[in-house]
Amino acid sequence: MKLPLSRLCPILLSTVLCVTFVGCNVVRFTLNTPITQNDVAFIVPGQTTLADVITKLGTPDSITDSYTGVVATYRFLDMKYSRVNFGWLLKFWSPVDADLLISRTGLGTDALELLCDSNWVVTHHSFLRRLSGHSFNPYPF
Amino acid sequence: MLLFKPLAGIIIVLALIMTQGCAFSRGTLGEDIRSESVDAIKKATTTKAEVLSLLGAPDRLLQVNGRDVFQYYRYDAKVGSLLLILINFSRVSIKSDDLFVIIDREGIVEDVILSKRTDGLKFRFWPFGE
């Protein structure tokens, strides 16, 4: 019996997808809720106090001293991990549980840093952008 | 409509066959910061010794802007996993509660800053999107 192309395509596609996703793991790890530029739009350097910021954004993760005042830091972490185990296919035919793994981890750290003067007034603020990227990509090479 | 019902049935059956299981895990670091203890701390009245008796020793002691800052924190992690035959999805969400007690040079509380982020922490397993 000859299968028409319209019926063959979904079967082929499903097979390719199954083989590709065999033994797949997709893991996401997030620390705190990211703060966007819109969230900090209310901060006016030289006017807004740290108390105003805390009222809107919550407490910072750390407060440290500096020569000119105080540095308050809000930290976020976003880690993306994906793994494919091609050896999973052999489970059906081989008594040996063999693994052929490829995996990749993307670690994104982000922070909002506020520099305040000795009166707790925000003088500067900026983001530290080291993002992990948008996609889960297990290809390590 | 007639076509929709068998299709929905097939999808449900496939989902049940493909689903191997779910997993929920939780981890915490530190003790819960009790609101009644924080409420008992009054600005310009409570002393450093009273703060220590109410909350215990701080997790971190900082010297900032000529003041002592006691930091208390608690971390909460929730892990949700959807385990399918071909693919597993997991998501780890971590948030923290932080309390800063700012103490002036005379050893009196100048300010108390508390935020509880863990209240809104949910179990999630879908790793994509926000």
Q: Of B54, B84, B81, give the one whose Cα is nearest residue B70.
A: B54
Closest CB from B62, B87, B90 relative to A63: B62
Report the residue of chain A nearest B92, measured CA to CA.
Answer: A29
Distance from A39 to chain B by nearest Cα, in Å? 16
Q: Which amino acid is at A45?
A: P
More confident residue, B62 or B20: B62
Whole-number pLDDT of residue B15: 67
Q: List CB contacts (< 8 A) between B59 and chain A.
A: none
Whole-number pLDDT of residue A131: 66
Q: For chain B, give the DSSP string.
A: -TTHHHHHHHHHHHHHHHEEEEEEEEEEES----HHHHHT--TTT-BHHHHHHHH-S-SEEEEETTEEEEEEEEEEEEEEEEEESSEEEEEEEEEEEEEEEEE-TTSBEEEEEEEE-GGG-------S--
Distance from B1 to chain A by nearest Cα, in Å? 23
Closest CB from B65, B98, B111 relative to A118: B65
pLDDT exceeds cutoff 50 at B88: yes
Contact state of B95 with A26 under an 8 Å Cβ cutoff: no
- Which ranges of chain A have pLDDT less than 70? 1-22, 130-134
Q: What is the rounded distance in angstroms from the CA atom of residue B14 to the CA atom of residue A119?
A: 62
Neighbours of A129 (CB within 10 A): 9
More confident residue, A131 or B60: B60
Confidence class for position B115, pLDDT limits 50, 70, 90? confident
Whole-number pLDDT of residue A67: 85
Percent of chain B exceeding pLDDT 90 equals 43
Cα dist. B60→A62, A64, B68, B126 in Å? 10, 11, 10, 34
Report the residue of chain B nearest A27, measured CA to CA.
Answer: B90
Q: List CB contacts (< 8 A) between A58 and chain B.
A: 98, 115, 117
